[in-house]
Amino acid sequence: MTERREENGRPDVRDSLERDVRRLARREPSGASFWRSLSTLGALGWSIALPAAGGALLGHWLDLHFGTGVRFTLMLLVGGVGLGAALAWHTLRRQG
């Protein structure tokens, strides 16, 4: 399909309008896209927050039990964030 050109060399407005109408017709309803994005964002947030909080809580308990200051808390917090980031990456790859 060749585009019509105006005198100044720019694409004709009618072609641009027809192309935009076709794109809008192919898109899914805007509400579905918003809710899908919101659910993906929620899944990513929980997949990072829960392992990080679990690591911090377990680390705090271990620190209290062994009297090691904050060593276990920091180590398991960083480990939980790393695990959460890996889970978030996996979630994003799976959902495309």
Main-chain dihedrals φ then ψ at residue 4, nearest 5 degrees:
-75, 145
Structure tokens at 1: 């399909």
- Please list the pLDDT of the chain residue by residue as tens digits (96 residues): 556 666 677 777 888 888 888 888 777 666 677 888 888 899 899 999 999 999 999 999 999 999 999 999 999 999 999 999 999 999 888 876
Whole-angstrom distance, CA of residue 77 vs CA of residue 54: 8
Residue 65 in any domain: the answer is: yes
Cβ 50 vs Cβ 85: under 8 Å: no
Instruction: Write down the H helix ranges in the chain.
Output: 13-26, 30-66, 71-95
Residue 50 in any domain: the answer is: yes
The domain in which residue 48 lies consists of: 36-95
Structure tokens at 21: 């109408």
Residue 19 in any domain: the answer is: no
Number of separate domains in the chain? 1
Residue 95 confidence (pLDDT): 76
Q: What is the model's pTM?
A: 0.65
Residue 72 in any domain: the answer is: yes
